Amino acid sequence: MREPVRVPQSEPRGANIAPSRRAAPVLAVWARDLIISLAISAFIIIFLYQPVKVEGTSMMPSLDDQERIFVNKFVYRWEPIEHGDIVVFRYPRDPSKSYIKRVIGVAGDRIRIDAGQVFVNDAPIEEDYVPAMYADERSYPETVVPAFSYFMLGDHRSMSNDSRDFGPVKEGYIYGKAVFGYWPMEKLGRLR
129-183: pLDDT as tens digits: 999 999 999 999 999 999 999 999 999 999 999 999 999 999 999 999 999 999 9
Please identify which of the residues 37, 96, 97, 101 carries the catalytic annotation.
101
Catalytic (active site) residue 101: yes
Catalytic (active site) residue 58: yes
- Give start and end residues of each alpha helix (H) in 44-184: 163-166
CA distances from 110 to 55, 115, 124, 143, 155 (A): 30, 17, 11, 6, 20
Q: What is the CATH number of domain 51-190?
A: 2.10.109.10
pLDDT at residue 8 in the model: 57
19-51: pLDDT as tens digits: 556 667 888 889 999 999 888 887 776 667 888
pTM beyond 0.85: no
Identify the CA nearest to 150 among candidates 61, 96, 60, 86: 86
pLDDT at residue 75 in the model: 92
